[in-house]
Amino acid sequence: MHDFIHTTHPQRVVFGAGSLRHLAREIDALGAKKALVLCTPEQRPQAERVAASLGAQAAGLFDRAVMHVPVETAREARDLARRLGADCAVALGGGSTTGLGKAIALESGLPIVAIPTTYAGSEMTPIYGLTENGLKKTGKDPRVLPRTVIYDPELSRTLPVGLSVTSGINAIAHAAEGLYAQDSNPVMDLMAEEGIAALARALPAIRLEPGDLAARSDALYGAWLCGGVLGAVGMALHHKLCHTLGGSFNLPHAEVHTVVLPHALAFNAQAAPRAMARIARALGGVSAPAAVFALARDNGAPVALKDIGMRAADLDRAADIAVANPYWNPRPFGPAERDAIRALLQRAFDGEPPG
Ligand SMILES: NC(=O)C1=CN([C@@H]2O[C@H](COP(=O)(O)OP(=O)(O)OC[C@H]3O[C@@H](n4cnc5c(N)ncnc54)[C@H](O)[C@@H]3O)[C@@H](O)[C@H]2O)C=CC1
Ligand SMILES: O=C(O)/C=C\C(=O)CC(=O)O
């Protein structure tokens, strides 16, 4: 028997190879005249081409987006937008650049056009993250939801294979946790399963041929679906562990998701059998945790926290932080489960298959 509440976010999505050419039209459709283009330093050449294509519609370029959005960077970008008279922001890049756009929108209300070039999914969510004095806080606000999203798989062809695989598994993590979320609903479940299946098809093909446009399109389609799930329902143990490891120990975002997901799923397996069956089906495997582990390992992604910058000496503190303010999870993980979480982290640290 169905019993749910679902809020649909007001957002326009333009999807397709070459759809970047519609950017000027989409800025017009927002009623905006001058866009501040945002990017990371690494993506400046790509962003310069986008700004050039906008001509007089481009107010300027800010190229200092970094992971986890330091408040100082957000302030600088916001000030620049004001000085240049920008009335919208174009975020070209992954979750870090979209996150910078969100930080600008949070205080200024400037509409954002997001052009995602990774599979992180931030463009589909009203979730923002900001880091101040080394502490990352996240929140939800409808103002930060990008008003328009342009998904152009051509732009993700340059995403290195390693980051393509880990970012794809970051997306899969949103869908996997969505399938056992307490506030999920049948439409989100369909999106989640389809999103996981699309990414599971696409990632091995991208590893073989990074420029494969059909595979890039499939991966971005999967990322769109998984991002939609993240934006609509609550996340659980896996995201809590990743925010702890990323936020307090500065581990790289997509990689940490990739290493932790099989272990978080194993922890939840008995408490969420229907979700596990759907994840396994989408991945073409028998067991959800094992299938995620194999997807990572077989495509050259890291499977051990020790290989992505975690120190053994920090595992105890990570377990303490993770259980101190637990999220809702199908299997509770408060202070009483601290030893089980510590054991999970040890397996993830060593790169053992999920227990
Ligand atoms: N608020 C939300 O809903 C979400 C926020 N996030 C946040 O996003 C951040 C991580 O975002 P990611 O996308 O994983 O990484 P990222 O945005 O930091 O990008 C990683 C690197 O890849 C480069 N890159 C991106 N696309 C490229 C392309 N097509 N070709 C070549 N290089 C490319 C970037 O310039 C950067 O150097 C974290 O801070 C995370 O917390 C992630 C997911 C959801
Ligand atoms: O930390 C944020 O900026 C907000 C959400 C996420 O990063 C989601 C995720 O862990 O992929």
Our answer on whether the CB atom of 238 is closer than 6 Å to any ligand 2 atom is: no
pLDDT > 80? residue 134: no
* Tens of pLDDT, residues 63-110: 999 999 999 999 999 999 999 999 999 999 999 999 999 999 999 999
pLDDT > 90? residue 136: no
State the pLDDT at residue 124.
98
Which ligand neighbours the alpha carbon of 115 most closely?
1
Residue nearest to atom 5 of ligand 2 (CA): 127
Are 11 and 124 in contact by the 8 Å Cβ rule? The answer is: yes
State the pLDDT at residue 203.
98
Q: How far apart are the CA of 41 and the centre of ligand 1, in A?
A: 12
Q: How far apart are the CA of 204 and the centre of ligand 2, in A?
A: 25
pLDDT > 90? residue 1: no
Kindly report the pTM of this predicted structure: 0.98
DSSP letters, 8-76, are: ----EEEESTTGGGGHHHHHHHTT---EEEE--STTHHHHHHHHHHHGGGEEEEE----TT-BHHHHHH
Residue nearest to atom 3 of ligand 2 (CA): 129
**What number is the average pLDDT over the span 32-36?**
98
Phi, psi at 304, each rounded to 5°:
-130, 135
Residue nearest to atom 18 of ligand 1 (CA): 96
Using most ligand atoms within 8 A of CB, pick from 20, 42, 152 the residue to mutate for ligand 1: 42
Which ligand neighbours the alpha carbon of 156 most closely?
1
